[in-house]
Amino acid sequence: MYIIVTGAAGFIGSNIVRGLNERGITEIIAVDNMKQSGKFRNLVDCEIADYFDKTEFMDMLTSNTFGSRGAAVLHQGACSDTMEPDGRYMMENNYRYSMTLLDYCQRQGIPFIYASSASVYGSGEVFLESRKFEAPLNVYGYSKFLFDQAVRKKMTKRSAQIAGFRYFNVYGAGESHKGRMASVAYHFYNQFRSTGSVKLFEGCSGYGNGEQRRDFISVEDVVKVNLHFLDHPEISGIFNVGTGASEPFNNVAVATINACLHYEGREPLNLTEMKERGMIQYIPFPEDLKKQYQSFTEADIGELRRSGYVESFLNVDEGVSRYVGQLLSGT
């Protein structure tokens, strides 16, 4: 029996595979689309039993040729580009693919743990797992929202665990292939290392320069949540996965720069000092983003806590410092 990880060569998926390996689990089926071939690097240090292309795997599921080899599915595969203009592709990749996997797990009676997204909340400022607070701003958010609705309909008659995680702003090792969709921590790191400064957006929607706030969560914590639910197949539901605390983009920039300075043997600086030295600069907010942008997110993690997850989360200073250390060491 195999644990199936979709999006296994991607950011969160590869970290989950690594987390399973750390437990001594190597009977893993990795599923992904390697059209962007550079993603293979995320799996080089991982141990898996087999790899299937996403399309091939879907065909096996729909024709019932994969059979009962799965012990659980950790579904992380998705198009996460919020600016993707092809809505048909987005819905096929994120919604229909997820439905096929969900149906397979329900037929087999095995756990289905999947990635949703905080994008389902749109521009709202209440982040509770309730339909009345959900209003996605783009087709990516809608694809995640629609699948969550399908899951809700199946919950009362499920044959096995169904657990969905509304990830907030995830950062950490293994995201370099994401390009523009990589975290701000990753972009700030590269900007500072190449130019000695980082660029943040000017203020918008009532927020000052760099003061737009997000709930930034380390991929290390995301992996812990996934593995906790894998250990507890009796728990089902849709849960926010964030730290429960929002922090401004300025904090991410300061943490990133100070981690780089520490590596260079230099003293840490505060935000004011960094701005005075030109290490932090602000650029105009892009017009094409304004109607699709969440200026504030903060996960309400009450449901996650009530489900039995009690682990603490890394804050931005802790998590980004660890991440920059990994980037600097090449791990």
Catalytic residue numbers? 140, 178
* Whether 1 contacts 71, CB under 8 Å: yes
* Whether 263 contacts 328, CB under 8 Å: yes
Rounded Cα–Cα distance for residues 7 and 77 (Å): 4
Contacts of 315 (CB under 8 A, 6+ apart): 243, 245, 247
Burial per residue of 16-38, b for 16 or more beta-carbon CB atoms within 10 angstroms, e otherwise: bbbbbeeeebeebbbbbbeeeee
Residue type present at position 189: Y
Q: Crossing angle of helices 316-329/184-195, nearest 10°? A: 60
Tell me which H or E stretch contains 299: none
Q: Calculate the CA 26 to chain-centre distance.
A: 23
Strand, helix or coil for residue 190: helix
The string of DSSP codes covering 70-134 is EEEEEE------TT---HHHHIIIIIIHHHHHHHHHHHHT--EEEEEEGGGGTT-S---SSGGG-
Q: For tokens 């300061």, what's the residue?
A: 254
Whole-angstrom CA distances from 192 to 257, 274, 319, 325 are 7, 12, 18, 14
| Of 12, 47, 10, 42, the residue nearest 26 (C-alpha) | 47
